[in-house]
């Protein structure tokens, strides 16, 4: 049976001092979490600091993005091997802020996904539709297209060691969460689409929900059949709130 995974996406927030306080607070609460997987994705420069503070515990470390190449003249990018050097296990790829603000294409996101796997990292592939796409009935077409770009490059086998995060763009940072039924519908679509190619891989795939998850709404979302935890933005910046979400997944 697949487990649950809660990952905190800290985005471009914090300072050295606040990062220390946040990670120490999460660390202190980790012994109350029994079975759920928990990861944090700090801004890249703080990865070594966070790695040192979590030691070899159960808390896993992830990056918010990853270079699509393995090294060389790619200014501003960070290679998977470098993230591995500092203990990362996960790399988020295709977050909607990367796709929309920085114009990352489905193909670039797929290459980042492939780079993560080459480096032995688990990609967390974010997919999700804009509000106008949902209103026009294009949700499945958009999410399907985002998945297809990865399938084209990596095949269905690429999803054997990966996580998918369904994040409706209209729910990110807006306080407007998808209802458990709305989210479940898209999660089931994702799993069905992949199951058409490999039922075993689809069944084992962790599909997180992301978009305004809080301590107060997490349990209801995570109780849905195809929702296997969450990718948490704003609420992951508060240790108590983040731990409450982890407990809901437990």
Residues with catalytic roles: 95, 167
> Least CB distance from residue 235 to ligand PGA, whole Å?
6
Candidate list 142, 186, 231, 243; residue touching ligand PGA; CB under 6 A:
231
Q: Are 40 and 243 in contact (CB under 8 A)?
A: no
- 104 is a site residue for ligand PGA (CB under 6 A): no
Instruction: Name the segment binding ligand PGA (CB under 6 A); options: 50-58, 74-82, 136-144, 228-236.
Output: 228-236
Instruction: Name the segment binding ligand PGA (CB under 6 A); options: 31-39, 45-53, 165-173, 182-190.
Output: 165-173
- 129 is a site residue for ligand PGA (CB under 6 A): no
> Least CB distance from residue 167 to ligand PGA, whole Å?
6
CB-nearer residue toward ligand PGA: 172 or 201: 172
What is the distance between the alpha carbons of residues 129 and 133, in angstroms, rounded to a whole number? 6
Candidate list 68, 104, 129, 167; residue touching ligand PGA; CB under 6 A:
167
CB atoms within 10 A of CB 205: 21
Task: Please give, one letter per residue, the 3-state secondary structure of 76-108.
Answer: CCCCHHHHHHCCEEEEEECCHHHHHHCCCCHHH
Candidate list 164, 232, 239, 245; residue touching ligand PGA; CB under 6 A:
232
Task: Please give, one letter per residue, the 3-state secondary structure of 43-60.
Answer: CHHHHHHHHHHHCCCCCE
Candidate list 4, 5, 6, 9; residue touching ligand PGA; CB under 6 A:
9
| Token code pair at residue 24 | 């120490």
Site for ligand PGA, residues 70 to 99, rule: CB under 6 A: none
CB-nearer residue toward ligand PGA: 52 or 216: 216
Matching residue, tokens 């269905």: 156
Instruction: Name the segment binding ligand PGA (CB under 6 A); options: 26-34, 69-77, 99-107, 232-240.
Output: 232-240
- 210 is a site residue for ligand PGA (CB under 6 A): yes
Q: Tell me the H-state helices in 58-179.
A: 80-85, 96-101, 106-118, 131-135, 139-154
Burial 30-69 (b: 16+ CB within 10 A, else e): eeebeebbbbbbbbbebbeebbebbeeeebbbbbbbbbbe
Contact set with ligand PGA (CB under 6 A): 9, 167, 172-173, 210-213, 231-235
């Amino acid at each position: 049976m697949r487990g649950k995974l809660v990952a905190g996406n800290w985005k471009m927030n914090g300072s050295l001092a606040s990062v220390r306080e946040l990670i120490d607070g999460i660390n202190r609460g980790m012994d109350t979490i029994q079975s759920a997987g928990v990861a944090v994705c700090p801004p890249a420069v703080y990865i070594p600091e966070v790695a040192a503070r979590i030691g070899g515990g159960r808390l896993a470390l992830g990056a918010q993005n990853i270079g699509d190449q393995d090294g060389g003249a790619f200014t501003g990018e960070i290679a998977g091997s470098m993230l591995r050097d500092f203990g990362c296990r996960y790399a988020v790829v295709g977050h909607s802020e990367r796709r929309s603000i920085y114009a990352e294409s489905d193909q670039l996101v797929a290459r980042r996904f492939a780079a993560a796997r080459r480096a032995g990292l688990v990609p967390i592939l974010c997919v999700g539709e804009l509000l106008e796409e949902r209103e026009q009935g294009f949700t499945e077409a958009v999410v399907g297209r985002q998945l297809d770009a990865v399938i084209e490059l990596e095949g269905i086998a690429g999803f054997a060691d990966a996580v998918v995060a369904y994040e409706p763009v209209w729910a990110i940072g807006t306080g407007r969460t998808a209802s458990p039924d709305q989210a479940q519908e898209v999660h089931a679509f994702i799993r069905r689409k992949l199951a058409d190619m490999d039922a075993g891989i689809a069944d084992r795939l962790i599909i997180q929900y992301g978009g305004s998850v809080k301590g107060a709404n997490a349990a209801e979302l995570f109780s849905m059949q195809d929702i296997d935890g969450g990718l948490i933005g704003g609420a992951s910046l508060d240790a108590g709130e983040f731990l409450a979400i982890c407990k809901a997944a437990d």
